[in-house]
Amino acid sequence: MPRRFLKRIMPDHDTMREHPHLRKFGQRLTEPRLWHLNRRSVSGGVALGLFVGFMPILGQIFIAAALAIWLRVNLPIASMAVWVTNPFTVAPIFFYAYKLGAWVLQIPMQHYAFSLSWEWFSQEFLNIWQPLLLGSVICGIVAALLGILFVRLIWRLVVIRSWIRRPHKNNSRL
C-alpha cells in the first residue's frame, strides 16, 4: 500500500511534536487528521500544496501548513507538495502562468527584462501582476484537481493490486 512508503519518508509524529520550533503550536499539531495517511487526507494535502505552490507568494510552506491545519488535511504532504515550484521550475511555471493570464485577459504579452531590484518591482511588476496572478490561480486549480485525481487513482490501483496478490484462503465453512 502507499501508506507504507509514505510512513517511511514522512517524519515521525512524536518527533514533529517535540521539535523546539513546532512546540509553540501546542495541541493543534496533535490533531490526528493532520497526520493520518488515507487517500482523502493525502489527496487533500497534495491538492492544497500544489495550489499554494503555484501562487506567486513568499512563505509558501508556512501558508500551506497553516491552511492544512485549518482544513485538516495531511500536513507533511501539503508542506512537501509546494516544492513543485523550486529554484529550477519557478521561472518556467510563472512565465507560463503569466502567458495564460494574459491570454485569458486578452492583454498583449509584454517582453520584460527581469532584474532583481526594487526599481523593477516598483515599475514593471505593477504591469504584470494581474495576468500573473490570474494565470497562477488557474494553474493552481488545475494542478490541485489533477493532483487529487492522480493520488486517488494511484492509491486505488495499489490497493487493488495488493488485494489481487493476497493469497487466497479457502473460507468454506461446513
Q: Is residue 111 part of a domain?
A: yes
Question: Between residues 11 and 83, which one has the greater pLDDT?
Answer: 83
The C-alpha atoms of residue 71 and residue 38 are separated, in whole angstroms, by 15
Question: Between residues 94 and 18, which one has the greater pLDDT?
Answer: 94
**For residue 113, how far is the Cα from the chain centroid?**
30
Q: Is residue 171 part of a domain?
A: no
The confidence score (pLDDT) of residue 91 equals 85
Question: Between residues 69 and 9, which one has the greater pLDDT?
Answer: 69
The C-alpha atoms of residue 65 and residue 77 are separated, in whole angstroms, by 9
Tens digits of per-residue pLDDT, 129-157?
889 999 999 999 999 999 999 999 998 99
pLDDT above 70 for 3 = no
pLDDT above 60 for 109 = yes
Q: Is residue 172 part of a domain?
A: no
Q: Is residue 42 part of a domain?
A: yes
Q: Who's near 159: CB < 8 A, 6+ residues apart? A: 1
Question: Between residues 72 and 9, which one has the greater pLDDT?
Answer: 72
Residue 24: domain span: 2-165
The confidence score (pLDDT) of residue 123 equals 74
The confidence score (pLDDT) of residue 153 equals 94
Domain count across the chain: 1
Q: Is residue 17 part of a domain?
A: yes
Mean pLDDT of 16-35: 68
The confidence score (pLDDT) of residue 54 equals 95
Q: Is residue 170 part of a domain?
A: no
pLDDT above 70 for 1 = no
pLDDT mean across residues, the chain:
82
The confidence score (pLDDT) of residue 83 equals 93
Q: Is residue 148 part of a domain?
A: yes
Question: Between residues 70 and 116, which one has the greater pLDDT?
Answer: 70
The C-alpha atoms of residue 134 and residue 75 are separated, in whole angstroms, by 26
Q: What is the pTM of this model?
A: 0.78
